[in-house]
Amino acid sequence: MSEAWVVNASPLILFARIGRLDLIEHLAPTILIPNAVIQEVRAGLAKDPTAAAALAWAEPYRVDDIALAASVEHWDLGPGESQVIAHSVDTSRWAVLDDRAARRCAAAHDVPVIGSLGIVMRSKKKGQIDRARPLVDKLIAVGMFLDDEFVDRVLESVGE
């Protein structure tokens, strides 16, 4: 199977909030969104009006949940993170995750990971956006949590 991205709720919600889900579509050859992730986003509909846009965008990429390996279940992650990792183990799929514990679990399972910041950086490197900082600032404004010094170092690496 060619490289595919299994997307978790956080990146899905964040990019919906800034109206840039297209960046994921342009970067990922194949997109998979486990049903558990869809359910997590749906649970936020009453509090977040952009959740409806996220759900509409995600629906064509929905995949059924699968049984969790004990090695994934042991990490006691949320259902969405667990399914993203389960769908990525022993495949060429990337886990699209922002949560630190989920990223550690993915690393423990040799699953490649990209997060919301990484999506912006790849978009910049591939010429899909002219500048990364405005998007990173928007993502932070709508709920992405990152250390300011880390963000500055990453942006500096792409000339910003």
pLDDT value at position 158?
A: 85
All residues at 6 or more sequence positions from 135 whose CB lies less than 8 Å from its CB, including other chains: 18, 20, 120, 123, 129
Is the distance from CB of 7 to CB of 89 less than 8 angstroms?
no
Domains contained in the chain, number: 1
pLDDT value at position 159?
A: 87
Percentage of the chain exceeding pLDDT 90: 91
pLDDT value at position 68?
A: 96
Q: Across the chain, what does the average pLDDT equal? A: 95
Tokens of 66: 């699968």
pLDDT value at position 110?
A: 96
List pLDDT tens digits, range 124-145: 999 999 999 999 999 999 999 9
pLDDT value at position 1?
A: 40
pTM here? 0.94
Q: How far apart are CA 133 and CA 67, in angstroms?
A: 39
Is the distance from CB of 33 to CB of 65 less than 8 angstroms?
no
Q: How far apart are CA 36 and CA 27, in angstroms?
A: 23
pLDDT value at position 152?
A: 92
Q: How far apart are CA 4 and CA 96, in angstroms?
A: 10
What phi and psi values does residue 114 have, to the nearest 5 degrees? -135, 145
Low-confidence stretches of the chain (pLDDT < 70) are 1-2
Domain limits for position 84: 4-156
Give me the CATH number covering residue 115. Answer: 3.40.50.1010
